[in-house]
Chain A
């Protein structure tokens, strides 16, 4: 099955810093989503981005499907950005399940 790898596994930032999170996947995909898991365990949809670039406030994401990676950019980080960021993909071949990566744990300090 598809392998999804995220880097870095852990990231520590001071408030106001920028960061880039990476997601690599091993095969072609129909769907790619980024989620933020907050300290209460909730999964918050950030982006649905099987290809191209999207922006939402301080967050933006880019997926280059032909090269099998996606990037999540966080600018001017805030303490509320802390948590785990997951990338999840749905393969192209007769499947509708999302396969999650192992996540990037982000801690933002004031």
Chain B
């Protein structure tokens, strides 16, 4: 069964550094999403992406964040200058028809 994959599984970075989180959505899916979950809290929406542009973003998704689909398979989330409060689990998701969303295993980002 096709799956969403994410790399790396765990990333440790220093405050102020840039990180890129990578995702490979399910191959015939057209809608892509990033969510995050701060430890012990609920999952929060960051951004959705369709047809090579952002379709919706949350208040969390400020100028520090960007997304890109650099080729036909990858979907990336870049955090330009990380802060301690960016430490969280980041989930990528994809959907074929903008209904059921399938989630990847997550990247645990630790900012020190």
Do the beta carbons of B56 and A31 come within 8 Å of each other?
no
A41 touches B106 (CB 8 A): yes
78-112 of chain B: CB within 8 A of chain A: 89, 91, 93, 95, 98-103, 105-106, 108
Task: State whether the Cβ of A43 lies closer than 8 Å to any Cβ in chain B.
Answer: yes
A100 vs B89: C-alpha distance in the bound complex, in angstroms? 15
User: Is A48 interfacial (CB 8 A cutoff)?
Assistant: yes
Cα A35 to Cα B43 in complex, Å, equals 11
The verdict on B75 contacting chain A, using a C-beta distance below 8 Å, is no
**Is there contact, CB below 8 Å, between B91 and A103?**
no
Q: With A97-B45, A97-B56, A97-B58 in contact, do A41 and B108 touch (Cβ < 8 Å)?
A: yes
Complex: how many Å from CA A92 to CA B31? Answer: 17
Say whether A31 contacts B58, CB under 8 Å: no
B-side interface residues, number (CB < 8 Å) = 26
Is the CB–CB distance between B106 and A43 below 8 Å? yes
Q: Measured between C-beta atoms, what is the minimum distance from A31 to chain B in Å?
A: 6
| Bound CA–CA A30/B101 (angstroms) | 12
**B99 and A35: CB pair below 8 A?**
no
CB of A62 within 8 A of chain B?
A: no
Q: Does A42 contact B (CB under 8 A)?
A: yes
CB neighbours (8 Å) of A41 from chain B are: 37, 89, 105-106, 108
Given A31-B100, A96-B56, A97-B45, 15 new contacts (CB under 8 A)? A33-B101, A41-B37, A42-B105, A43-B43, A45-B103, A86-B43, A88-B43, A95-B56, A96-B31, A96-B48, A97-B48, A98-B33, A100-B42, A101-B42, A103-B42
